Structure 1
Amino acid sequence: MLLSSWKKNLPLQLTLSRVYILPLILFFLFYNNFLNAILASTLFIIASITDYFDGYYARKWNLVSNLGKFLDPVTDKILVLGVLIYLNSMGFIDPFLVIILTLRDTFIGGIRAAAAADNIIIAAKSSGKWKTGMQMGSIPAIIVGKSYQQEIFTGFPQEVFHHLGQIGYIVLWFSTALSIISGIEYYSIYKNSKTHKT
């Protein structure tokens, strides 16, 4: 059965939507208040969910492509790092955390490029998947958690949002540790695969 044109383009557009949504998230973060924090977090969650559905529909409709395989992790990194860099500029997170994640993703990008040049396929590892999932859960918690600073919240609600932000921050650090582990795994797999090919 022939697929309609919109179906053929849907997986790729879902992948690219993470880049399209990022400016909107940053816009709401710029005008920092509770409502905008909710909107920014909601948009981030929607963008994160597309990471599942682009692959799902690509496999379901047999539309898996090299372009999609390349763009999927790239758009993930653009979304996550884009928001984290902005949160750092707002003083919400430690710059050291952003530096670690940026260096790790640059390192992994180099390994993937080298592996592709050597015709080596490195499958996604569970540590990398957990890392991504923890990032995509912790970032909205940090964004919303910081809303406790707004004047409209006092007493119990303020404490709830404060603790939510703290939990999100802890989870984000755990994801950073996992990112280092997954980076080591990727390098080990590439090194072993290259050794076996020679």
Structure 2
Amino acid sequence: MTTEFQKHLPMRITMSRIFIVPVIVALMWPNDLWYNVIAAVVFIFASITDYYDGYYARKYNAVSNFGKFMDPIADKILVTSVLTMLLAQGKVDAWMVIIILARDNFISGIRSVAAADQIVIAAKPAGKWKTAMQMVAIPLVIIGSMEPYLPYLDKIAYGVLWISVILSITSGIEYYVGYLKSKKALGSPIN
């Protein structure tokens, strides 16, 4: 039997990801090495919660439409807030942020249209790899240069983030093609 606490745990975990964003941004604000390290650790913790909200939702049979909607929103708030701060600090290029945000909005639009058409588009490998690359690169970009301890860490992280940008484009195309194929398979006209 699922308790009231267990029933609400997945949504609390999802919402914690949103509420922790101001903490991460505040820690990034001084742009000091040790504040950045703490911000990166908190970002990693927030990223890990993305796994656990889904895990507990399935374990406690607490899957909800609101949770399905809020989970990717929480992810977008976390990533876009941190990328915006990194952009303000000059640690990432505007094009990176534009492409990542445009892809996320595009995918959200496709998911909305697909849901209206009662089509479920499965997660694509490029999208999963994109997320993995971002979750590795973003904390390292937050930390930045750690000379002389870890030379070139910032440059490696920047390169990995560009890989995630390329995967963002690839996965956006995969989602779009997946939607078109699903629509065609149902015999629906593509408008």
Q: Same fold (TM over 0.5)?
A: yes
**1:184 aligns with one of 153, 173, 177:** 173
Q: 1:45 is paired with a residue of what secondary structure?
A: helix
- The answer as to whether partners of 1:145 and 1:163 remain within 8 angstroms in 2 is no
Q: 1:95: which partner in 2? A: 94
How is 1:31-180 mapped onto 2 (pairs within 5 angstroms)? 31-146=30-145, 148=146, 158-180=147-169
Aligned equivalents of 2:24, 2:150: Cα separation in 1: 20
Aligned equivalents of 2:148, 2:66: Cα separation in 1: 46
Amino acid at match of 1:179: S
Amino acid at match of 1:165: D
Decide which moves more: 42-51 or 122-131: 122-131
Give the CA deviation at 1:145: 2.4
- The answer as to whether partners of 1:131 and 1:179 remain within 8 angstroms in 2 is yes
Give the CA deviation at 1:123: 1.5
Fraction of identical pairs, as percent = 51
Give the CA deviation at 1:58: 0.8
Aligned equivalents of 2:151, 2:80: Cα separation in 1: 23
- The answer as to whether partners of 1:16 and 1:75 remain within 8 angstroms in 2 is yes
Give the CA deviation at 1:125: 1.3
1:20 aligns with 2:9: no
Aligned equivalents of 1:160, 1:168: Cα separation in 2: 15
Q: How many residues align?
A: 187
Aligned equivalents of 1:113, 1:70: Cα separation in 2: 10
Which 4+ runs in 1 deviate beyond 3 A? Answer: 159-162
Return 5+ residue gaps in structure 2 as ranges.
Answer: none
Structure number with the higher helix fraction is 1
Q: 1:154: which partner in 2? A: none
- The answer as to whether partners of 1:85 and 1:98 remain within 8 angstroms in 2 is yes
Decide which moves more: 82-91 or 67-76: 67-76
Give the CA deviation at 1:159: 3.5
1:195 aligns with 2:177: no
Amino acid at match of 2:29: F
Q: 1:124 is paired with a residue of what secondary structure?
A: coil
Q: Deviations for 1:111-162, whole angstroms, at most 9, x for unmatched residues?
A: 011111111111111211111111011111111123x3xxxxxxxxx14444
TM (norm. structure 1) is: 0.90
Aligned equivalents of 1:161, 1:71: Cα separation in 2: 37
Aligned equivalents of 2:135, 2:121: Cα separation in 1: 23
The CA RMSD over aligned residues, in Å, is 1.2
Q: Deviations for 1:167-191, whole angstroms, at most 9, x for unmatched residues?
A: 1111111011111111001001111
